[in-house]
Amino acid sequence: MNEKLIIIGTGPAGYTAAIYAARADLAPLVFTGNQIGGQLTTTTEIENFPGFPEGIMGPELMFNMSQQAEKFGARYAYEDVLSVYREECSGLFVVTTSGGAYKAQAVIVATGAKARYLGLPGEKELIGHGLTACATCDGAFYRDVPVCVVGGGDSACEEASFLTRFASKVYLIHRRDMLRASKAMQQRVLNDPKIEPVWNSTIAAYQTDESGELCSVTLQDTLTDEQRPLDVKCVFMAIGHSPNSAFLGDLVDVDGAGFIVRTNGGTATKTPGLFAAGDVADPVYRQAISAAGMGCWAAMEAERYLLSLE
């Protein structure tokens, strides 16, 4: 059976697209991928998603979204999408997954982006317990304590600057002896008395307290390999993101980092009928609410596209 609409991904973008599409009677088929619920299932409390004045746990928020979409007729397939191409003769998209091949008139890609971490032992368990890749999300949890940011580009400098509102001290750990950020951004960071650059350094290990929260890191000098401890309550990783877009081949254009290029200020891509929403197509904001908003746009644009085919 040919599907009207396939949605790939079950983060805030995918679920919101599914809610809107299901309420428009499109009965979307949603591929969950192997991270059901997306990035927010890896964190604890969310304080900035509207509608929850007391905050809400990430997994609970995502479970609610999933239920809401299902209630209106979204169907889930617990499969990973391996590739998508467009069949010349029929104009249908062929979506190949770990479980088989499916055809659809329109596709919404909401596959997110993975923050890069250092790959050290114990990192996965520490996320949400003193290790994060989002100052906007987690900065306010670390008031009047020392924190550090890892990275040397514009994002790292922006995160460090933002964190000075809360933290008692912000160490900016960079493996070289100069920042890659723009001159203006460098000036801002280097002139800030709360920010201390730690040059030619990287993190070699994390230490936790008895409750499993980060309490310090081991710094390693990149020139001499010398190690020393640094007391910080949170590490903010700012060494880039990897969008999950490679499986689309040349159906989409991507920027230098792999983020899908949208062509209409909304969620259209260079391929008519293929829409992209959330972090996978958002090199700038990467927030749950902005991903959800883009999921809404994508469903409405897909609906309009499907109408145009009738």
Its sign, for the CA torsion 265, 271, 273, 278, is negative
Among 286, 299, 302, 303, binds ligand FAD (CB under 6 A): 286
From 264, 265, 296, 263, select the one nearest 278 (Cα to Cα): 296
39 makes contact with ligand FAD (CB under 6 A):
yes
Own/partner long-range contacts of 181-186 (Cβ < 8 Å, ≥24 apart): 181/152, 181/153, 181/154, 181/156, 181/157, 182/154, 185/154, 185/157, 185/158, 185/161, 186/157
From 233, 274, 284, select the one nearest 253 (Cα to Cα): 274
Query: What gap in Å lies between CA 271 and CA 251, rounded to an integer?
Result: 6
155 makes contact with ligand FAD (CB under 6 A):
no
Query: What gap in Å lies between CA 188 and CA 302, rounded to an integer?
Result: 43
Query: What gap in Å lies between CA 128 and CA 23, rounded to an integer?
Result: 34
Known catalytic membership, residue 137:
yes
Binding segment (CB under 6 A) for ligand FAD, from list 65-73, 109-117, 177-185, 226-234:
109-117
38 makes contact with ligand FAD (CB under 6 A):
yes
Among 14, 139, 152, 273, binds ligand FAD (CB under 6 A): 14
Site string for ligand FAD, 40-69 (x = CB under 6 A): x-xx--x-x---------------------
CB atoms within 10 A of CB 277: 36
Known catalytic membership, residue 138:
yes
Known catalytic membership, residue 89:
no
Among the listed residues 138, 148, 157, 282, the single catalytic one is 138
110 makes contact with ligand FAD (CB under 6 A):
yes
Q: How far is the CB of 223 from ligand FAD (least distance, A)?
A: 32
Task: For ligand FAD, give the closer residue by CB, 179 or 288.
Answer: 288
Q: How far is the CB of 127 from ligand FAD (least distance, A)?
A: 5
The residue behind tokens 């020393």 is 228
As given in the structure block, the two tokens for residue 252 are: 């989409």
Q: How far is the CB of 292 from ligand FAD (least distance, A)?
A: 8
Beta bridge partners of 102: 95
Applying the rule CB under 6 A, the residues between 180 and 239 that interact with ligand FAD are: none
**Cβ-proximal residues to 263 (8 Å cutoff; 6+ apart), any chain:** 269, 270
13 makes contact with ligand FAD (CB under 6 A):
yes
* Catalytic residue positions, numbered: 134, 137-138
Q: Which residues bind ligand FAD (CB under 6 A)?
A: 8-14, 31-36, 38-40, 42-43, 46, 48, 80-81, 110-112, 115, 127-128, 132-134, 137, 244, 247, 278-280, 286-289, 291
